[in-house]
Amino acid sequence: MRPLPYWRLSAFYFFYFALVGAMAPFWGLYLKSLRLAPLEIAVLMSLLQITRIFAPNAWGWLADRRGERGGIIRMIVLAAALAYLGVFLGSTFAWLFCVMALMSFFWSGSLPLVDATTLSHLRERSDWYGRIRLWGSLGFIGSVLGLGYLLDRMPVAVLPWAVTGLMAGLVVASQNVPEAPVPSHDTDRLSVWHIVRRKEVAALMAACFLMAAAHGPYYTFYSIYLAGHGYSKTDIGALWALGVVCEIGIFLLSPRLFSRFAAESVLRFSFVTAVVRFLLIAFGVDHPVALILAQTLHAFTFGAYHAAAMVLIHRYFKGRHQAKGQGLYNSLAFGAGGAAGGLVSGYTWGGLGPPATFCLSAAAAALGTLVLWSAGRRALPLSAAPERPVG
């Protein structure tokens, strides 16, 4: 078995999610400092999701057609970094809309390609994906804690400069992502839509859309919500970091978890915990213990959920459909779902209020649970686990 390029893959995840750790908790606060309206903030933050509706599909299709991913990853990460520099040239809503849309079009296409590359290196041991992906969680934690501390002592105007440094790190890491051979599969002759139309695959995609939609208000307004209730930026960063620490624990345990439980069962359980989590956020914001408990549930609402989804996506999309499968997952879930949740929250936040908005998140997660149960039990068996790929 060829050696797994563990550290080169891990470095990309580290810087990619360190960048997410700067954008998700704090970019909304930066936009608020520019005196943008809540709906304008929601639109700009949702751009990071909207472009994921079509960009991953476009880049995934190109990668599968060319039969290589490394060169495309390096190109689009560099293009994203160059586009981002436009934030220093203007601060109006229209200008930032153009800059963030262009940056995200390139940036959002890189992660699905790296995920497909990682899974190609892992081959049938997709349950070990979490052991590499956890470095992204570590990057996220370092970013939210470091920037939370920094922004409590300096104006939020320094945030764009911090993001520039993380972008530079991502560009360097992208240069070292190793190419992986794509083995042929008997589904290569079929259209990717032949796979998507299967009942269990369609249910998976629909449920993932709902989970991402449920998280839309969280990623758009959670930091603003906490700041409005008197929490410091250090407190906000610590709460975000707590969730990701719990996520790391799940990633570390993922091989053992999937050796005992079917991925479908893990996925359904993660949706149930999401209902509980968003109700805690809705009604427990003035009670730190409730918020701490809600953040520990991130282990399931993202960590276990994402690990299980990746196992299933890798199971259903093989051969020349690998990158397209990852693209579809990112587009329908994190793209369309995240954008829908973020945009709806832009309307409900000021109209219905924050508690009602997070109740809608809980409702979306509950609906996702029903979708998964409606698809029935396991349609395909998990493959037997081969030898451990990391020596």
Confidence label for 66 from pLDDT (cuts 50, 70 and 90)? confident
Provide, rounded to the nearest whole percent, the portion of the chain with pLDDT above 70.
91
Q: What is the DSSP string of 257-321?
A: HHHHS-HHHHHHHHHHHHHHHHHHHHH-TT-HHHHHHHHHTHIIIIIIHHHHHHHHHHHH--GGG
pLDDT: which is higher, 139 or 378: 139
CA-closest candidate to residue 373, choices 204, 237, 210, 229: 204
Lowest-pLDDT range, 27-31, 58-62, 285-289?
58-62
- Cα dihedral: 203, 208, 210, 216 (round 10): -170
Identity at 146, one-letter amino acid code:
G
Distance (Å, whole) CA 179 – CA 176: 9
Kindly list the distances between the CA atom of residue 47 and the CA atoms of 24, 160, 211, in Å, as whole numbers in the listed order. 12, 17, 18
Lowest-pLDDT range, 106-120, 177-191, 231-245, 331-345?
177-191
Residue 8: which region, alpha, beta or left (left: phi > 0; alpha: psi -120 to 50)? alpha
Tokens encoding 350? 């000021």
pLDDT: which is higher, 2 or 80: 80
Q: What are phi and psi of 380, to 5 degrees?
A: -135, 145
Kindly list the distances between the CA atom of residue 381 and the CA atoms of 12, 216, 262, 306, in Å, as whole numbers in the listed order. 32, 32, 9, 19
Provide, rounded to the nearest whole percent, the portion of the chain with pLDDT above 90.
48
**Domain 7-180+190-374 has what CATH class?**
mainly alpha
E strand or H helix at 366, and its extent?
helix 354-374
Q: Find the angle CA(7)-CA(64)-CA(318) to the nearest 5 degrees.
A: 75
Whole-prediction pTM value? 0.74
pLDDT at residue 198 in the model? 86
- Cα dihedral: 227, 135, 79, 147 (round 10): 30
pLDDT at residue 213 in the model? 94
Distance (Å, whole) CA 311 – CA 37: 40
Q: Check pLDDT > 70 for residue 24.
A: yes
Distance (Å, whole) CA 141 – CA 157: 21
DSSP designation for 334: I
Q: Find the angle CA(171)-CA(177)-CA(181) to the nearest 5 degrees.
A: 150
Per-residue pLDDT of 252-290, as tens digits, reads 888 889 889 999 999 999 999 999 999 999 999 999 999
